[in-house]
Amino acid sequence: MNKNILKKAKIHLKKIGFNTILNLKEIKEGRNSNVFRFKANKRELVLKIYKYRSNLRIKRESLFYKFLNKINSKQVVTPINFSIKNNMAVFPYIDGFKIKNIKNTHIKEVSNFVNQINKSKVSKKLPLAIDGIQDRMHHIKLCEKKINELKLIKINTLVKKNFSIFLISKIIPKFIEIKKDFKKIKKHDLPKMKLTKKEMIVSPSDFGFHNIIAKNKKLFFIDFEYAGLDDPIKLLCDFYCQPDQIMKDEQKKIFVKNLLLKNYSMKGLNSYVKIFLSFHRLKWCCIMLNEFKNDKHNTNKLIAKNNEKIMKRQLIKTKIYFKKNFEKK
Q: Do 86 and 154 reside in the same domain of the chain?
A: no
269 within 8 A of 256, measured Cβ to Cβ: yes
- Cβ–Cβ under 8 Å, residues 114 and 120: no
255: in domain: no
Q: Mean pLDDT, to the nearest integer, of 306-328?
A: 93
Q: Which of 93, 115, 150 is the last residue of a domain?
A: 93
Higher local confidence (pLDDT), 188 or 20: 20
Same domain, yes or no: 87 and 157 = no
Prediction pTM value = 0.90
CA 266 remoteness from chain centre: 24
Give the end of a domain, one of 38, 69, 93. Answer: 93
| Domain-ending residue, one of 37, 69, 93 | 93
Q: Do residues 315 and 182 share a domain?
A: yes
Residue 312 belongs to some domain of the structure: yes
**Residue 21: inside a domain:** yes
Length of the chain: 329
Closest among 64, 29, 32, 65 to 50, alpha carbons compared: 32
The enclosing domain of 50 has a CATH number of 3.30.200.150
Average pLDDT, the chain: 91
Residue 5 has pLDDT above 90, yes or no: no
Torsion sign, CA atoms 49, 220, 234, 125: negative
The answer as to whether 257 is a domain residue is no
The domain of 47 spans: 1-54+79-93
> Any residues with CB less than 8 A from the CB of 110 and at least 6 apart, and which?
209, 212, 219, 255
Assigned domain for 47 exists = yes
Residue 108: inside a domain: no
Residue 258 lies in a domain: no
For the stretch 251-298, pLDDT in tens is 999 999 999 887 788 888 889 999 999 999 999 999 999 989 876 655
Whether 296 and 160 map to the same domain: the answer is: yes
| 195 pLDDT higher than 60 | yes
Task: Look at residue 266 and tell me if it is in a domain.
Answer: no
**Domain tally, the chain:** 2
- Tell me: do 144 and 21 sit in the same domain: no
User: In sequence order, what are the residues at sequence separation of 6 or more whose Cβ sits closer than 8 angstroms to the Cβ of residue 183?
Assistant: none
313 and 165 co-located in one domain: yes
Do both 87 and 22 map to the same domain?
yes
